[in-house]
Structure 1
Amino acid sequence: MSKIREIAELGNPILRAIAQPVTKVHDQRIQQLIDEMLATVAPANGVGIAAPQLAESHRMFILASRPTLRYPHAPTMEPTAIINPHIIDRSDEMVKDWEGCLSVPGLRGLVPRNRAIEVEYTDRYGKLHQQEFSDFVARIFQHEYDHLEGIVFLDRVESTREIMSDREYQKQLVQHL
């Protein structure tokens, strides 16, 4: 059983650093980190987590869309390790939606993101993938990719008026269900 790791929070310098490429996907330490990321994201009610959020400077994250308390309408997908990702193409269409972050507890922000993206990444087995993502899964991918670039979602919010507490967000979410 992989251990659940502590999540780095806003203010930790690793969240503002550019993560280093993974050179040996099959290395035991990288494989163990993937397992620890998988073990950490689910109990935290996250739909993704990046290595820098576990204070590890590696260009990798878990993409794990599923309905949670934080995102009740999220589509379900198999949690996937995304290693050394590149965004190859982005749709011109931008969509604003509410985001939160395990590293920024208690806050939500209205963030503009590309509606669709085309990406390339390596999986945990060393296989190269090229894939298109859209809507919520594209949003997760872009959010986690930002972590690899030292960017947090608050950096993308266009106005401080588009930030609210997580508690208020939950109240408003319940009112709209």
Structure 2
Amino acid sequence: MIKPVLKMGDPCLLQPARRVDQFGTPELEALLQDMQDTMAALNGAGLAAPQIGVSLQVVIFGVEHSPRYPDAESVPFTVLINPVLTPLTEQMEEDWEGCLSIPGMRGLVPRYTRLRYQGVDAAGASIDRTVTGFHARVVQHECDHLNGILYPMRINDLRKFGYTDTLFPGQTIADD
């Protein structure tokens, strides 16, 4: 079921999420289906459970082709629960990000260029991946939601944060 996405300013988005302790439950399956339906309906690259009002450490992400990120490389669809991120370099790169919880806006956000993420999938099986590029950016963005962090909190220069149609006039970038 498509759920409403909470918007910046909602206190639920600023709270650390709780770990998931039980797997294979009807409640977890329903949450994951709601998240997938919502992300697909909004052409998102990812979605965190807190964005739909559920304070659990659950993120989903995946991109084959997104009108919101037309130049991004593909990222395999992933369900990641109780994630742990480990930067594998100190090198960071700034790039433009948007968020379903901050519609119509973009910001230039620094992210680690290479990282390892670990966690479990919906069945509780281990996930352990090393990623770079857009994949690394998406994972960091979604996992920030689990710690009550929205991307504007990471922006170094607020002159590089604004409305998409003002920052990129004349460009067709799908609305968040």
Rounded Cα–Cα distance in structure 1 between residues aligned with 2:153 and 2:75: 27
Q: Report the count of equivalent residues.
A: 173
**Would the aligned equivalents of 2:75 and 2:135 in 1 still touch at CA under 8 Å?**
no
Q: CA deviation at 1:70?
A: 1.2
Match of 1:65 among 63, 66, 86: 63
**Would the aligned equivalents of 1:120 and 1:129 in 2 still touch at CA under 8 Å?**
yes
Rounded Cα–Cα distance in structure 2 between residues aligned with 1:106 and 1:52: 20
- Per the alignment, residue 33 of structure 1 pairs with 31
Rounded Cα–Cα distance in structure 2 between residues aligned with 1:11 and 1:48: 20
1:17-166 counterparts in 2 under 5 A? 17-166=15-164
Spell out, residue by residue over 1:3-44, the C-alpha distance to the aligned partner (whole angstroms, 9 max, x if none). 111101011111000000000121110111011101110121
Spell out, residue by residue over 1:24-74, the C-alpha distance to the aligned partner (whole angstroms, 9 max, x if none). 121110111011101110121210000000000000100112322210012
Rounded Cα–Cα distance in structure 2 between residues aligned with 1:90 and 1:27: 34
Percent same amino acid among aligned pairs?
34
Superposition RMSD in Å:
1.6
Rounded Cα–Cα distance in structure 2 between residues aligned with 1:5 and 1:98: 26
Rounded Cα–Cα distance in structure 2 between residues aligned with 1:168 and 1:67: 24
The AA in structure 1 aligned to 2:145 is H
**Would the aligned equivalents of 2:87 and 2:112 in 1 still touch at CA under 8 Å?**
no
Q: CA deviation at 1:125?
A: 1.7
The AA in structure 1 aligned to 2:74 is T
Identify which range, 162-171 or 130-139, moves more after superposition.
162-171
5+ residue gaps, structure 1: none
Per the normalisation by structure 2, the TM-score is 0.93
Q: CA deviation at 1:88?
A: 2.9
**Would the aligned equivalents of 1:63 and 1:141 in 2 still touch at CA under 8 Å?**
yes
Rounded Cα–Cα distance in structure 1 between residues aligned with 2:170 and 2:114: 27
The AA in structure 2 aligned to 1:50 is A
**Would the aligned equivalents of 1:38 and 1:79 in 2 still touch at CA under 8 Å?**
no
Match of 1:11 among 9, 12, 16: 9
Rounded Cα–Cα distance in structure 2 between residues aligned with 1:103 and 1:70: 14
- SS of the residue corresponding to residue 42 of structure 1 reads helix
Q: CA deviation at 1:170?
A: 4.7
- Per the alignment, residue 171 of structure 1 pairs with 169
5+ residue gaps, structure 2: none
Sort the Cα spacing of 1:26 and 1:95 in 2 relative to 1 into closer, same or farther, 3 A: same
